[in-house]
Structure 1
Amino acid sequence: MSAVQRHAIVVGAGIGGLTAALALGRRGWRVTVCERAAGPSSVGAGIVLAPNALRAFATIGFDITRAAGRTLPAAMGLRRPDGRWLNRADGAALAARYGGPPLALHRSALAEALTAALPAGTVRHGVAVTSVD
């Protein structure tokens, strides 16, 4: 008798939902991602993935650096509205301290790479989830 494949429904095709879908899929689950937007969005800003985030992706077998390249920010931090730095970190110092550099990329590039790593048809756009049982 064959085992029944488990099926997960993930609500939302944001970075978290796509990452969850990829992790579940790599563990043998059949996954469907329901996203209410009509299609992928290129709206958004940049994101910096810290070395621990890159290690978490590596744990599920996903190498974002292959899909999106590697951009080491020279510096990063928080600024006040007037442009003055509140906190600043040197990219090379972060790489030395945490065992690897952070990765800067556009959010949509990360979402596209995650979607591309999923089996075709996993992400269903234009599907609003109205209740969960």
Structure 2
Amino acid sequence: MKKDIHIPKVEGVYIAIVNEYNDIYKTQDWNAYIINDKDIDLEMILIVTSGYSEKKMTSIFRKKLDKLPKKSYAKIELMQEELFALNNTFKVSFFEGNAMFDKTYLFRKNTINLKALQPVPLMDVKGVLMK
């Protein structure tokens, strides 16, 4: 029965969109990161990203990480600025111990911009953070 299914709440795992300088191409790039601010490692992390609006939809991007150590972060993808006019979702599933966790992070259209930057945990940079 549905009432018997317990879905644990995700805490301490964030998605950040960071504007950073690319030394190789000499450009300012926007990159998406997953951050594990917990005191436990995450295992088998699956991330599915896509962008959408009323008239447009991007292709679906999938990424798998075998492990994300405690108090660490990993780059998910480079994001083109044209995507910021769309709603961008990051569906994240992972195992913590024997429990599976799942959460969808939504960056609404036009919310990723330089005016929305704030400190990002563990990274010592500023970015657009979704908790």
Would you tell me which structure has more helix in proportion to its own residues? 1
Scaled to the shorter chain, the TM-score interval is under 0.3
Larger RCO, structure (CA 8 Å, separation 6 or more): 1
More strand by share: 2
TM-score (norm 1): 0.22
Higher Cα radius of gyration? 1
